[in-house]
Amino acid sequence: MIDKREAPAGASGLFANEPASAFKSAPSLHPRNRRDFVAGYAFVLPSLVLILVFTFVPTLYGFAVSFTRWDMLSARWTFVGLGNYSALLQSRELWHSLLVTAYYLVGTIPVTMALGLALALALNRKFRGRAFFRLAFYSPVVASTVAVAVVWLWMYDPLSGILNYFLLQLGFPPQKWLTSPATAMPSLILMDVWKHVGYDMVIFLAGLQGIPHQLYEAMDVDGGGRWAKFRHVTWPLLAPTTFFILVISIINRFKVFATIHTMTKGGPVDSTEVIVYFLYQQAFQHFKIGYAFAIAYILFVIIFVLTLAQWKIGKASVHYQ
Amino acid sequence: MDSFSHALLGKKLLAVAGCAFLFFASVVTVTAQVTIDFWHAMEGPKGPVLKEMVNDFMKQNPKIKVNVSLQGGYTDMVRKVQAGIAANALPDLAMLGQRHGIPQISDSGRLLMLDSILTAEDRKDINPQLFGRYTYQGRLMAMPFAVSVPVLHINATRFKEAGLNPDKPPMTWDELVSYAKKLTRDVDGDGRIDQWGFHVHSDVAWQAYAFIYQNGGTLYGPDGQARLDSPEAVQAMQFWSDLVHKHKVMPAMAHESGSKLFTAGGLAMFQRSSAFIEGAAKQIGNRFDYRVVYLPKGKVYGVPDGGGGLGVFKSTPERERAAVALLKWLTDTKGIARFGRETGYIVFRKSSLGLEEMKSFFAGSPRDLVASREMEHVRSNPVNHADGVVWDGLGNVVEKIELDAKENIPALMKELNSKVNKEIAEARGK
Amino acid sequence: MNLDKPRFGINRESLADAIIFFALGVGVLFFLFPFFWMVSTSLKAGDELFLYPPSLTPKKLLFHNYLDIWSKAPFGTYFFNSLFVTTAITVGEIATSVLAAYAFSKIPFPGREKLFLTFLGTLMIPNVVTLVPVYVIVRKLNWVDTYWGLIIPQLATVYGIFMLRQFFLTIPRDLDDAAQVDGLSRLGILLRIYLPLSVPALIALAIISFINNWNNFFWPLVVTNSDSMRTLPIGLRFFMEGEGSGEWQYLMVASTLVVLPPLIVFLFLQRYFVRGITMSGIQG
């Protein structure tokens, strides 16, 4: 019987700060000497300065603006305190866009991860042409979203696009794809899965390669077939990887924008109006900058809380020795 | 020589040097170059035409150097201008489109008002309706330049196949419907319509303006309040809905497909900007007989105008002068004629139409002639803060009525109307 | 009880293998089809674009479309800019990330963990938010429409630091201790010991950074005003939208040009990529 809770040697947990295998002595942040103190900050300095100037300060600036009503064009602005936030939380549009975003997340993430895992499993064994398959499935990740969106937009055209043509030839009814509120989001989801499966696949591959062979050989001795191997060895040991992909996927998908902007512009009838697109419209089409930044901060809080929650859950359920 | 003459010589040399310096300095200032930045929004093959014209301007005006750069489309341009105002990084001359923020940009106080540069001749030469789009609070904020109107692109070959005479295109709404019905067919007998009679391009709000104007309606009344819930506007939208649901001559929702379907030959009548003519001709080649005709009238003829105008941003007196000079050069009689000929935008100056080169151009391009004749029916309103709401709102209404035949159109238009008026009131109150 | 003993050469395992292989094959066709469509269209003539029924392949392979495009728009300039800017950002990112990652993993200093968490927090900010304020800052630095403006703000990214830190954590601290006893400074340890050990991880990071920055669209759009500074994705977008142009075959040529370099980079460095990610332990 394998102790499922044993992590393979050498693995360091994603969210563990001081994995036992990396430090022999008790972890302490007390600088050994003054040189360490200086070195520490000196090494971090370039990144720190860059992030301070180009991420931090702009974010704080945006935060300040979220308390005003301003159109960024005129010199006039008025302080409205929490006015933007309260208006937002009571607006139908904010909740609608959050719902749409949630639909998007639920539609893309499980499918992409499941497919990515399946592909990784299939491509984990050495066989001829493996590199070609890996490249093929990863290539959409590499391609520019703008280029890809243009191609898919055309393929999705309900009257003259190639996808409907194929469907017709195969005897299926043509679909409305991006032109109907019911099918627009599923169409975007399909394209998104295509675009990101390769990424999940590669990370799962890396995770799979970290699982020691001996565990599988032990299963062979015990008489386990493929499915048993998966259930008892692969899946549990992939837990940190799965967790990582889940966290990154959620953070990234929340920020989706370019696809919507190029393909549907939030329509039809707002059925694909994800939250970042809603933000963009408020800022650059309705000239309500303060309102837009308030949306940004609400979004940030949501992502932050979600990530924190995942971290806590992750720590509890993904055990290490 | 004694010391006294040394000193005198020294003083003389100094004086000569001083004069020489002043002379060179004055020469340099008099021939000083002014450099200005010109941002335009002509994507695709129209950009190089503009660049060529600016090069010619620079040849004729050696003291002015112009940096021409493409900033994307009109929406990109507005974003750039927004960012530019925030960061103090504005061009001198920019191409601005109507609903794309002219009121807000004007509010920033950075635009030069152009009423003073128009002469009496200009006002006679240009249809005053064209200024509406660029007039804010009674002042002209940009000069019309790249003008387009929606026209009806038709596939004359399909007309003949259906027994219709393409030399007598539909002139009224009723004729439009009856023609379109004959042109909407299931060609290969598989139970699905593969040839459509009529369709409209994806800038649906603009096309909706056309229907509203044709029905005798307007977007705003003289009091500045919206008129979208007027019976004329409501009927116009009802007609739109009927085209899809009742007469079944227009496919629902697939507006992006319109251009592709038309060039493929599967659409008989297509309502789209005159700016489409050139590209369409290239893509269609000889595959069918492609013609351009007037949009039919409802109760009257009426079309909206589109495109972009030229606005000048305030800076230093020299640069403003240079920018205005460029603006006047681009939009004078010859400028508009050349720009129109080479890009397909409308030649909107009456004096330009009289030029010899225009007459021969139109002789060879009957399609552009029709577009240019439609100019006399242009309607417009002065811009205000709510234009974006009107545009998005109408787009939304169109989507809803195309998806559902039973939508309550009067209610939708009334809701939109109050939204627009609310926006206007808010902007006033600021 | 092993049901998988081979019998007559066909067993459950190899049947499953065959099905998987077949599924993979179909999957690859589906995955590569959009690219096929893109390239096929790029070789068509203008009046072949919108036929119904659509043609899967061009009548004649118009390779000279790929030559024509350089004159349609300054794609040569765009290409060079993309190459230069992307490479510069990748190199800069690796340099700054390596330093910070080493500090975060091996140098004890007060406030380290809190600082790292703050860094991580910045990952959650959508870049639409920081767009305009960063533009204002860049303007004040007079970096608008310059290579500085294109490169420097993009160096502020945490993903690389995160990944390298995780990787450095797997290197035993004894190495550091021994080296310090030998008199090596922190910088020396980093350069002489850690870097050589991390080549796959560095390559993986380089690939990720190159691909992301090559495809970056919004920031270059905002910070450049003149054509001479623009990058390929922007050139592509500008070429696409025009009130009536619709020269889709050239649009597809441009798309192909945008997609090709990252693909080539990945093709050649594939091996290192997976290995690098594995070694960084970022997945667990």
pLDDT band at C65 (very low <50, low <70, confident <90, very high): confident
SS (H, E, C) C249-262: HHHHHHHHHHHHHH
CA distances from A286 to A62, A292, B101, B339 (A): 17, 10, 9, 32
Distance of CA B422 to the CA centre of its chain: 27
Which of the other chains make 3 or more beta carbon contacts under 8 angstroms with chain A?
B, C
Report how far residue A310's alpha carbon sits from residue A207's, in angstroms, rounded to the nearest whole number. Answer: 19
Closest CA to C94 of C230, C207, C249: C207
Q: Clarify whether residues A33 and A180 are in a common domain.
A: no
Query: Is A253 within 8 Å of A110 (Cβ atoms)?
Result: no
Task: Establish if B394 belongs to a structural domain.
Answer: yes
How are beta strands A68-69 and B34-40 bridged, if at all? unpaired
Cβ–Cβ gap C243/B276 under 8 Å:
yes
Determine the pLDDT at residue C242. 52
Q: Clarify whether residues B155 and B237 are in a common domain.
A: yes
For residue B77, the chain A residue with the least C-alpha distance is A284
Which of B371, B390, B407 terminates a domain? The answer is: B371
> Total domain count for chain A?
2
Cβ–Cβ gap B285/C47 under 8 Å:
yes
Predicted TM-score (pTM) of this structure? 0.81
Q: Clarify whether residues A57 and A95 are in a common domain.
A: no
Q: Which long-range contacts (CB under 8 A, 24 or more apart) does A50-55 make?
A: A50/C96, A50/C152, A50/C153, A50/C155, A50/C156, A51/C119, A51/C122, A51/C156, A51/C158, A53/C137, A53/C156, A54/C130, A54/C134, A54/C137, A54/C152, A54/C153, A54/C156, A55/C122, A55/C125, A55/C130, A55/C156
Q: Clarify whether residues A60 and A156 are in a common domain.
A: no
Is pLDDT of B374 > 80?
yes
Q: Clarify whether residues A43 and A111 are in a common domain.
A: no
The alpha-carbon gap from B347 to the nearest alpha carbon of chain A, in Å, equals 30
Q: Clarify whether residues A147 and A257 are in a common domain.
A: yes
Mean pLDDT computed over B351-361: 88
Tell how many helices (H) and how many strands (E) occur in chain B.
Answer: 19, 13
- Owning domain of residue B101: 30-147+306-371
Cβ–Cβ gap B254/A180 under 8 Å:
no
Q: Clarify whether residues B393 and B360 are in a common domain.
A: no
> Total domain count for chain B?
2
Is pLDDT of C141 > 80?
yes
Q: How many C-beta atoms surround the C-beta of residue B202 within 10 A?
A: 16
Cβ–Cβ gap C166/A136 under 8 Å:
no
Query: Looking at beta carbons, which residues of chain C come within 8 Å of A138?
Result: 266
Report how far residue B318's alpha carbon sits from residue C160's, in angstroms, rounded to the nearest whole number. Answer: 49
Q: Clarify whether residues B259 and B387 are in a common domain.
A: yes
Which of B371, B400, B420 terminates a domain? The answer is: B371
Mean pLDDT computed over C168-179: 83
Show which of residues 48-67 on chain C sit within 8 Å of chain B, judged by CB atoms: 49-52
Q: Clarify whether residues A287 and A142 are in a common domain.
A: yes
The CA-based dihedral angle spanning residues B99, B102, B104, B110, taken in that order and rounded to the nearest 10 degrees: 160
Query: Looking at beta carbons, which residues of chain B come within 8 Å of A269?
Result: 396, 399-400, 403
Q: Clarify whether residues B142 and B240 are in a common domain.
A: no
Is pLDDT of B246 > 70?
yes
Which residue intervals of B144-300 are DSSP H helices? 156-161, 173-183, 204-214, 231-245, 257-264, 277-284
Q: Which of C51, C132, C243 sits opposite B86 (nearest CB)?
A: C132
The alpha-carbon gap from A78 to the nearest alpha carbon of chain B, in Å, equals 9
Show which of residues 234-253 on chain B sit within 8 Å of chain A, judged by CB atoms: 251-253
Q: Which of C107, C237, C278 sits opposite A36 (nearest CB)?
A: C107
- Owning domain of residue A61: 21-65
The structure tokens 């590499």 sit at A142
Calculate the average pLDDT of chain C.
82
Is pLDDT of C118 > 50?
yes
Task: Establish if B2 belongs to a structural domain.
Answer: no
Q: Which of C144, C238, C245 sits opposite B72 (nearest CB)?
A: C238
Report how far residue B277's alpha carbon sits from residue A205's, in angstroms, rounded to the nearest whole number. Answer: 52
Determine the pLDDT at residue B330. 94
Q: Clarify whether residues B261 and B402 are in a common domain.
A: yes
Is pLDDT of C24 > 70?
yes
Report how far residue A297's alpha carbon sits from residue A299's, in angstroms, rounded to the nearest whole number. Answer: 5
Identify the weakest region by mean pLDDT among B135-139, C238-242, C268-272. Answer: C238-242
Report how far residue B380's alpha carbon sits from residue B132's, in angstroms, rounded to the nearest whole number. Answer: 5
Q: Clarify whether residues A138 and A281 are in a common domain.
A: yes
Q: Clarify whether residues B363 and B398 are in a common domain.
A: no
Q: Clarify whether residues B291 and B323 are in a common domain.
A: no
Task: Establish if A298 belongs to a structural domain.
Answer: yes
Task: Establish if A5 belongs to a structural domain.
Answer: no
Of the two residues B341 and C124, the one the predictor is more confident about is B341
The pair of three-digit structure tokens given for residue A174, joined into one six-digit string: 């043509």
Task: Establish if B205 belongs to a structural domain.
Answer: yes
The pair of three-digit structure tokens given for residue C193, joined into one six-digit string: 């010991």
Of the two residues A30 and C232, the one the predictor is more confident about is C232
Task: Establish if B376 belongs to a structural domain.
Answer: no
Task: Decide if A158 touches B, using CB distance below 8 A.
Answer: yes
The alpha-carbon gap from B407 to the nearest alpha carbon of chain C, in Å, equals 31
Tell me the pLDDT tens digit for each residue of B117-170: 888 888 888 988 888 888 888 899 999 999 999 999 999 999 999 999 999 999
Strands (E), A55-210: 68-69, 78-79
Q: Which of B80, B273, B284 sits opposite C244 (nearest CB)?
A: B273
Is pLDDT of B232 > 70?
yes
HSE value, Cβ hemisphere, 13 Å, CA-based, for C282: 26
Of the two residues B355 and B2, the one the predictor is more confident about is B355
Task: Establish if B47 belongs to a structural domain.
Answer: yes
pLDDT band at C274 (very low <50, low <70, confident <90, very high): confident
Query: Looking at beta carbons, which residues of chain C come within 8 Å of A211?
Result: none
Is pLDDT of B383 > 80?
yes
Report how far residue C191's alpha carbon sits from residue B60's, in angstroms, rounded to the nearest whole number. Answer: 61
Q: How many C-beta atoms surround the C-beta of residue B175 within 10 A?
A: 14
Q: Clarify whether residues A89 and A56 are in a common domain.
A: no
Chain B / chain C CB contacts < 8 angstroms: 104
Distance of CA B147 to the CA centre of its chain: 4
Report how far residue B393's alpha carbon sits from residue B416's, in angstroms, rounded to the nearest whole number. Answer: 6
Q: Clarify whether residues B201 and B311 are in a common domain.
A: no
Task: Establish if B4 belongs to a structural domain.
Answer: no
Mean pLDDT computed over C67-96: 90
Q: Clarify whether residues B218 and B229 are in a common domain.
A: yes
Tell me the pLDDT tens digit for each residue of B402-423: 999 999 999 999 999 999 999 8
Cβ–Cβ gap B261/A159 under 8 Å:
yes
Q: Clarify whether residues A296 and A236 are in a common domain.
A: yes
Determine the pLDDT at residue B6. 64
The alpha-carbon gap from B260 to the nearest alpha carbon of chain A, in Å, equals 7
Residues of chain B with pLDDT > 90: what percent? Answer: 47
Query: Is B327 within 8 Å of B143 (Cβ atoms)?
Result: yes
Determine the pLDDT at residue C191. 84
Of the two residues C53 and C153, the one the predictor is more confident about is C153
Q: Clarify whether residues A174 and A118 are in a common domain.
A: yes
pLDDT band at B21 (very low <50, low <70, confident <90, very high): low
Task: Establish if A166 belongs to a structural domain.
Answer: yes
Task: Decide if B59 touches A, using CB distance below 8 A.
Answer: no
ipTM confidence score = 0.81
Task: Establish if A146 belongs to a structural domain.
Answer: yes
Of the two residues B57 and C131, the one the predictor is more confident about is B57
Q: Clarify whether residues B238 and B265 are in a common domain.
A: yes
Task: Decide if C135 touches B, using CB distance below 8 A.
Answer: yes
Query: What's the CATH code of the domain at A159?
Result: 1.10.3720.10
Mean pLDDT computed over B98-118: 84
Query: Is B402 within 8 Å of B252 (Cβ atoms)?
Result: yes
User: Phi/psi class of residue B248: alpha, beta or left (left: φ > 0; alpha: ψ in -120 to 50)?
Assistant: left
Residues lower than pLDDT 50 in chain A: 1-27, 319-321
The structure tokens 């563990």 sit at A16
Tell me the pLDDT tens digit for each residue of B171-186: 999 999 999 999 998 8
Determine the pLDDT at residue A146. 80
Query: What's the CATH code of the domain at B116?
Result: 3.40.190.10
Task: Establish if A8 belongs to a structural domain.
Answer: no
Task: Establish if B9 belongs to a structural domain.
Answer: no
Identify the weakest region by mean pLDDT among A228-242, B226-240, B296-310, C77-91. Answer: A228-242
Task: Decide if B403 touches A, using CB distance below 8 A.
Answer: yes
Task: Establish if A71 belongs to a structural domain.
Answer: no
Determine the pLDDT at residue B206. 92
Determine the pLDDT at residue B292. 93
Task: Establish if B1 belongs to a structural domain.
Answer: no
Task: Establish if A210 belongs to a structural domain.
Answer: yes
The alpha-carbon gap from B173 to the nearest alpha carbon of chain C, in Å, equals 26
Tell me the pLDDT tens digit for each residue of C194-225: 888 888 888 888 888 998 899 888 889 888 88
Q: Clarify whether residues B136 and B159 are in a common domain.
A: no
Task: Establish if A14 belongs to a structural domain.
Answer: no
DSSP state letter for C59: S
Q: Clarify whether residues A251 and A302 are in a common domain.
A: yes
Q: Clarify whether residues B363 and B402 are in a common domain.
A: no
Determine the pLDDT at residue A14. 37
Q: Clarify whether residues A25 and A113 are in a common domain.
A: no
